[in-house]
Structure 1
Amino acid sequence: MDILIARQRSELAVHQQRLEVAQAAAARFILAYEERQIPGASEAEVEYLSGLDAIRDHLAVMNDQVAEELLTFAPGGPQQPGNMEASRPLNQQLLRRGVRMRTIYLNSIRTDRPTMDHARWLIEQGCKVRTVPSLPNRMIIYDRKSVMIAADADNTAIGAIRVSAPGMVASLHWLFEQVWQSAESLEAPVSPAPGELNAQQAEALYLLALGHTDEAIAKRLGVSPRTARRITSSLMTHLGARSRFQAGVLAIQLGFLPLRVD
Structure 2
Amino acid sequence: MLAAIGLDGTHESAYRALVSVGAAEVADLARSLSLAEQDTERALRRLERQGLAAQSPARPGRWVAAPPGVALGALLTRQRHELEQAELAAALLAQEFRAAAEPGVHDLVEVVTGASAVAQRFLQLQLGATDEVCALVTARALVVSGAENGAEEQAAGRGVGYRVVVERTVLDLPDGLSGLTAALGRDEHVRVADRVPTKLVIADRSLAMVPLTSGAAGPAALIIHASGLLELLAGLFESVWREALPLRLGAAGVTEDRPDGPDATDLEVLSLLLAGLTDASVAKQLGVGLRTVQRRVQRLMALTGATTRLQLGWHANERGWVSRAGSV
TM-score, structure 2 as length reference: 0.41
Q: Tell me if structure 1 keeps the 8 A contact 2:139–2:170.
A: no
Q: Provide, for residues 158-190 of structure 1, a one-character-per-residue CA deviation record: whole Å limited to 9, x for no partner.
A: 200011142111111011011001001123255
Give the equivalent residue in structure 2 for 1:213.
Answer: none
Q: Which has the higher Rg, Structure 1 or Structure 2? A: 2
CA distance in 2, matches of 1:54, 1:111: 29
Residue of 83, 87, 108 corresponding to 2:145 = 83
Q: Which has the higher contact order (CA 8 A, sep 6+)?
A: 1
Q: What value does the CA root-mean-square deviation take over the aligned residues?
A: 2.9
SS in 1 for 2:145: helix
Pairing 1:161-240 to 2, within 5 Å after superposition: 161-187=222-248, 188-190=271-273
Consecutive unaligned residues in structure 1, runs of 5 or more: 1-39, 193-197, 199-262
Relative to structure 1, the CA distance from residue 47 to residue 137 in structure 2 (aligned partners, 3 Å threshold; closer, same or farther) is same
Consecutive unaligned residues in structure 2, runs of 5 or more: 1-102, 249-270, 277-328
Relative to structure 1, the CA distance from residue 154 to residue 50 in structure 2 (aligned partners, 3 Å threshold; closer, same or farther) is closer
SS in 2 for 1:151: strand
- For 1:63, the aligned partner's letter is Q
Pairing 1:87-102 to 2, within 5 Å after superposition: 87=149, 89-102=150-163
Q: Percent identity?
A: 19
Give the equivalent residue in structure 1 for 2:125.
Answer: 62
Q: Tell me if structure 1 keeps the 8 A contact 2:214–2:220.
A: no
Q: Tell me if structure 2 keeps the 8 A contact 1:138–1:153.
A: no
Give the equivalent residue in structure 2 for 1:50.
Answer: 113
- For 1:182, the aligned partner's letter is E
The Cα of 1:154 is off from its aligned counterpart by 10
The Cα of 1:108 is off from its aligned counterpart by 1.9
Equivalenced residue count is 151
The Cα of 1:84 is off from its aligned counterpart by 3.0
Q: Provide, for residues 193-215 of structure 1, a one-character-per-residue CA deviation record: whole Å limited to 9, x for no partner.
A: xxxxx8xxxxxxxxxxxxxxxxx
Relative to structure 1, the CA distance from residue 180 to residue 56 in structure 2 (aligned partners, 3 Å threshold; closer, same or farther) is same
Residue of 115, 119, 122 corresponding to 2:180 = 119
Give the equivalent residue in structure 1 for 2:136.
Answer: 73
CA distance in 2, matches of 1:62, 1:73: 14
